[in-house]
Structure 1
Amino acid sequence: MRNKSLDAVKAIAACLVVCIHVSFPGQAGQLVKVLARCAVPFFFMVSGYFCYYQNCNASKRILSKILHIMKLFAVSVVFYFIWECFMKAWNGERVWTWIKGLVSTEHLKEFFVYNSTSPIRAHLWFLPALIYCYLLALL
């Protein structure tokens, strides 16, 4: 059964995530950004709720969620990789130099150790972070 209250709060949290990424002017804008930061931890809690809210095998559910998020992450990375290559070529930048930098030891270490997705798109950090949380829950 669908939890409509949770859906409503998720919609509000999604709007708050947008507020994090939009620059509002002045002190009020900074206040909005600070207050909106509750949305990301909320989404982590909702993910945990959906792993355990039914009487079923949590391990199986977690594994399926990890695979689902890995697919989403892979599609997102491919999309933004193509987008960045196109934009760099459009702006006359060296695409190959950027690609070599992506697969450098330093960037790979930053991704696996610090979950840094900044070279492609910084906002993708959420997906591998969620995978890490599911892996910890699985252990």
Structure 2
Amino acid sequence: MQDVPINLMGYTLRVTEPPTVKTRQLENGELEPVTNRDGVLQFVVVCFAKPKAVEGQRQGKGAEIRVNLGADPGDGFTEGMVVELVNPLLNTYEIPDRDNPRLTASSGLWFKADGLKPAAASTTSSAAYAASGYSGDES
């Protein structure tokens, strides 16, 4: 499956490695910048994704994720900053074993997004509104 839209509103994303140009290592050991098929330079950011706390439930553990960015997110994204992904997508991959193509040597998930932006200063979940008795009608 490729480019599956995902909703990360239930997670806090904290930058653990600020955005940098994505690179790949060549056979001679040199690093080369990665571009997409149109020749546009690609970027990568590493974030710690942790489920947001839900009242009455134990908070879940988080995981570090590496996100490919299709454009330069700009300056100002520092370690520890809480961010949101613009149009986040999930992809899967599977690499067959060289000796026996019927076996899988490696498989997994990877994330990508169109961009990165600072998280809203304060967000209130729909669960918090429901718990407060807010009905959406203030008349």
TM range (shorter): under 0.3
Give the TM-score of the pair, scaled to structure 2: 0.21
Give the TM-score of the pair, scaled to structure 1: 0.21
For the pair shown, which has the larger CA radius of gyration, 1 or 2? 2
**Greater per-residue strand proportion:** 2
